[in-house]
Structure 1
Amino acid sequence: MKNLTKAFAVIALTTASFASFAATEVGMAPTGAQSIGTVSAATNGNNLSALQGKLAAKAAEQGASSYRIVSAGGDNHLFGTAEIYK
């Protein structure tokens, strides 16, 4: 019985984690989508993937279905901005 309860807990947590990263990156504004604002993020170091991940997480937090990175820059401290769409 304990194993069954643990299995259901794992399934529920796995499903919840996938839902939290629902925003997908797009190359241009999606047709018919409404812009709902922008999000910004910064990272230490020069890992562009980490910056992209932070922007995706912030877009998902705001309820966006997709986002488009409109600016990114920096040397040892990266920063970026993304427009978010619903």
Structure 2
Amino acid sequence: MNIIKKFAAVVALGLVSFGSFAAQDMGTVQVSGAETLSAFEAQVAAKAEAAGASSYKIVSVAGNDQLRGTAILYK
């Protein structure tokens, strides 16, 4: 019975420490008016840097002449 309690404690601590290393969602940013995907990504990167984000994930881009989309910022 002691072994089971120790095993459960190790598993619980492992899950807690893993969760502390996960990226934290800081929110989303919206970008519009870019003419190319490179320009769109540059605008997202600038907004992420201004917000203090360490990384971002572009989740949507749409448009023909003027691109617009959304990205999630992570700390």
- Is TM-score (shorter-chain normalized) higher than 0.5? yes
Partner of 1:75, secondary structure, is coil
Specify the code of the residue in structure 1 equivalent to 2:23.
A
Specify the code of the residue in structure 2 equivalent to 1:34.
Q
Q: What is aligned with 2:31?
A: 41
Question: Which has a greater percent of helix?
Answer: 2
1:58 to 47, 55, 59: 47
Q: Residues 18-45 of structure 1, C-alpha deviation per residue, up to 9 Å, x if partnerless? A: xxxxxxxxxxxxx611001001111243
List runs of 5+ in structure 2 lacking aligned partners. 1-20
Q: What is aligned with 1:81?
A: 70
TM superposition score normalised by structure 1: 0.60
1:68 aligns with 2:70: no
TM superposition outliers: structure 1 runs of 4+ over 3 Å? none
Q: Residues 51-77 of structure 1, C-alpha deviation per residue, up to 9 Å, x if partnerless? A: 000001001111100000000010011
**Aligned in 2, Cα 1:44/1:85: closer, same or farther, shift over 3 Å?**
closer
Distance 2:32 2:66 in 1: 7
TM superposition score normalised by structure 2: 0.68
**Aligned in 2, Cα 1:48/1:64: closer, same or farther, shift over 3 Å?**
same
What CA RMSD, in Å, does the superposition of the two structures yield over aligned residues? 1.2
Q: What is aligned with 2:9?
A: none
Distance 1:44 1:57 in 2: 13
- Number of residue pairs matched? 55
Q: What is aligned with 1:9?
A: none
| Residue pair 1:59, 1:84 contacting (<8 A) in 2 also | yes
| Residue pair 1:43, 1:50 contacting (<8 A) in 2 also | no
Identity between Structure 1 and Structure 2 (%): 49
